[in-house]
């Protein structure tokens, strides 16, 4: 019962981030449809999970036919952003059929270019990996030139600029314009969610991690 209540609280905080930031500011054109259509699956893993725990949790979510987006959250994990990116790479190597993106609470706003804005766009309440089957990414980006799997995964993960004219490129430019206009409001929303997380996790006995 206690574990279920803790998991529900982590998911509540995630939902605030999705609704109040990602969806409200249209940072992902498919986010609301996936969530409301039951195509989003979430798993919470506790403590300091190794890459095998991440892979197991992600594989279980992606095995469900209706799932289009899988999110695996580790609310108690204390990890620096660079270390988490390395973990993302290790997980992605074990799941070659999915694009894997890392989300982390520690990300400063950088509006220099759309690519440099990506970490801020992924400033989730907890360390999280988002996984999307590459077949779906290919469909979403069905415009020439076609992207190979390595390029798709690299663009999704924010390690490279998407090809000019690609759907991901258009989204990146739209996000840059949106955040430039609403940066202060978005930062206030993220701060409010972070404070909610802090007090809620303390109340529930969840050892909050994120950075170290």
Where are the domains positioned within the chain?
2-204
Question: What does the pLDDT look like over 120-149, one tens digit per residue?
Answer: 999 999 999 999 998 876 665 554 444 444
Longest CA–CA span in the chain (Å) reads: 51
pLDDT at 95 over 70: yes
Bridge-based pairing state of the strands 98-103 and 128-133: antiparallel
The per-residue pLDDT of the chain, averaged, comes to 87
pLDDT at 143: 46
Both tokens of residue 116? 């440099």
Q: Which two tokens stand for residue 102?
A: 């890392």
Scanning the chain, the segments in alpha helix (DSSP H) are 2-17, 31-36, 51-62, 81-94, 114-121, 134-140, 149-156, 167-204
pLDDT tens digit string along 156-192?
Answer: 444 444 444 567 788 899 999 999 999 999 999 999 9
Q: What is the pTM of this model?
A: 0.85
């Amino acid at each position: 019962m206690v574990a279920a209540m803790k998991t529900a609280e982590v998911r509540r905080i995630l939902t605030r981030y999705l609704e109040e930031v990602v969806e409200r500011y249209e940072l992902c054109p498919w986010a609301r449809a996936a969530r409301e259509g039951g195509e989003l699956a979430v798993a919470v893993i506790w403590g300091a999970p190794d890459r095998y725990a991440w892979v197991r949790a992600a594989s279980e979510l992606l095995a469900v036919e209706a799932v289009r987006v899988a999110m695996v959250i580790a609310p108690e994990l204390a990890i620096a952003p660079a270390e988490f990116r390395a973990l993302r790479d290790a997980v992605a190597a074990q799941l070659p059929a999915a694009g894997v993106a890392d989300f982390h609470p520690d990300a400063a706003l950088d509006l220099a270019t759309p690519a440099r804005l990506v970490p801020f766009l992924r400033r989730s309440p907890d360390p999280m990996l988002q996984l999307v089957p590459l077949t779906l990414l290919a469909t979403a980006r069905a415009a020439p030139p076609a992207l190979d799997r390595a390029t798709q995964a690299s663009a999704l993960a924010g390690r490279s600029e998407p090809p000019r004219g690609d759907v991901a490129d258009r989204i990146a430019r739209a996000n840059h314009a949106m955040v430039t206009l609403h940066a202060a409001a978005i930062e206030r929303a993220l701060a409010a969610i972070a404070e909610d997380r802090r007090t809620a996790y303390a109340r529930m006995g969840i050892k909050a991690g994120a950075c170290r």
